[in-house]
Amino acid sequence: MYETEVQDTKSVSKWGVLIAALLGGFMVILNNSLMNVALPYFMDLFQITAVEGQWIVTAFALGMAIVMPLTSYLSKRFGPKKIFLLGTLIFFAGSLAGPFSWNFTSIIAFRLLQGFGGGLIMPLTMMLIFKHFPKNERGFALGIWGIAAMVAPTIGPTLGGVLLEFFSWEMLFYINVPTAFIAAGAALYFLQKDAEPTMLRFDWRGFLFISFGLVTTMIGIDLLQSYSGELWVYGLIIAGVTGLVLFIWQELTSDEPLLNIRILKNAVFSGSLLVINFSVMAMFSVLLFVPILIQDIYGYSPLYAGFVLFPQAISMGIAMTIGGRVLDKKGPYIVIMTGVVVTTIATFAIGFSIGQVGIVMLIVFLVIQGIGNGLINTPASTAGLNALKEAHVPAGSAFNNVSRQLMKVICIVFLSIFFEYRRGMHVTQNEWIVAGEQAVRDSYLLVASLLVASIILVFYLRKRW
């Protein structure tokens, strides 16, 4: 059981554990977002298409999705400290090997290796926080951790732009080497020694089903960007969904499931996952469309796009910390409802303002959206995991992180397809820049319309939180 893994939490600094978790999470997420502004560079370097270039990001997400379901089993079988260090070592190896990539295939392989390491680290960071912090402090602690989970994707393009502007693409990998050393050192120093290993049977069928299901579904969705009319692509998606259904069947019939999916019966936890997915959609709409608007449509540099995104990162981090404190004192409903309303209104404002206001006003709207999003994500994660029994937190953390990865891929693919469709519609009547602006506007308004559902969902959950 989860409780038996704890030896003597009083002898362990909970703030030290938070530092180790923060460094691990920040390292993994920052690494991924560094690549967003570098995709045009890699397209030119390896002479590949935009769809092929997207695999530099997708490969990392696939690697994480494959190993994330294993973290609950591995942490019980071997101990969270060992698995955290193993994940850091694998991530370090992928980062060290990346600069030696000799072609596009090799860089994808090293990104996949990085994803394997990151997939072991991310669920453990949340699990360790919940293991060492009491319920009335978890919101604040996870709010600080959330600075890594939500702000790193926004800071990443700025840093990536600086590295590409003044150094070389190899630095996008090398920068992870010292951060991996620091994260490993913090884990060695702050994390308590693992308890005696628990002998558990490994659910091989469950692992094969969920791995096949997640990978096939994500690949199928990604291929929709360039093969939307091909039946075999839809066949891939159907096969992936079938694999996930078989995984559910396997876990419900297994005496020792890989992931206890029965926790999804908990309405608060399931509802929190949906709210988090809306938050992820809002965040990745910004990370996708702002660089397109600034770089592709207006012709500015990646560094300029990064600086446009940076103020939102700061506002999001501040809001996360405040939101966590409010959640600990007042409960989740007030802070999360405020967050979804502010995020929805700000997203509508961004959509209507594209092409109508200057960059400064756009940054103001992005900051307001960042505040709203900061009030959603970590408070919703905390409320959902708090609703579970302590023994179910590792599985809940894995579900939380897998859903984020899957939602990220879905958002990037479907919003990209929608954007290109709308730009094609507008370009027949307008010049390229105006058509691009209108397509970005339409895309933001679509996201804002979908976010309205999050307000309804949070209102429905108000009496359960």
Q: pLDDT, tens digit, for every residue of 433-456? A: 788 888 888 999 999 999 999 999
Which tens digit of pLDDT belongs to each residue from 368-410?
999 999 898 888 888 888 888 877 887 888 888 788 877 877 7
Both tokens of residue 336? 């999360």
pLDDT score of 6: 41
Residue 26 or 228, more confident: 26
CA distance 383 to 350: 29
The CATH fold assigned to 10-202+258-460 is Growth Hormone; Chain: A; (1.20.1250)
Q: Where are the chain's structural domains? A: 10-202+258-460, 203-257
* Per-position DSSP letters for 252-269, written without gaps between them: HH-SS-SS-GGGGG-HHH
pLDDT at 430: 63
Given a cut of 80, whether residue 167 has pLDDT beyond it is yes
Q: Is the pLDDT of residue 116 over 90?
A: yes
Of 28, 20, 29, 30, whose CA–CA distance to 128 is shortest? Answer: 20
Token output for 154: 């926004």
pLDDT value of residue 210? 86
Please write the tens of the pLDDT for every residue from 305-346: 778 888 888 888 788 888 888 888 888 889 999 999 999 999
In the chain, the percentage of residues whose pLDDT exceeds 70 is 92
Q: Write down the H helix ranges in 148-203.
A: 152-166, 171-174, 176-190
pLDDT in tens, 211-252: 898 889 878 887 876 777 788 888 999 999 999 999 989 888
Could you tell me which of 246, 251, 243 has the C-alpha nearest to residue 217? 243
Predicted local confidence at residue 197, as pLDDT? 66
Query: Among 384, 367, 368, 377, which residue's Cα sits nearest to residue 404?
Result: 377
Check if the beta carbon of residue 205 is closer than 8 Å to that of residue 250. yes
Q: Report the pLDDT value the prediction gives residue 8, as an integer from 0 to 100.
A: 43
Q: What local confidence, expressed as pLDDT, does residue 336 receive?
A: 92
Query: Does residue 273 contact residue 384 with C-beta atoms inside 8 Å?
Result: yes
pLDDT over 50 at 7, yes or no: no
What are the tokens at 145? 């951790």
Q: What is the mean pLDDT of the chain?
A: 83
Least confident of 46-50, 102-106, 218-222: 46-50
**What does the pLDDT read at residue 1?**
39
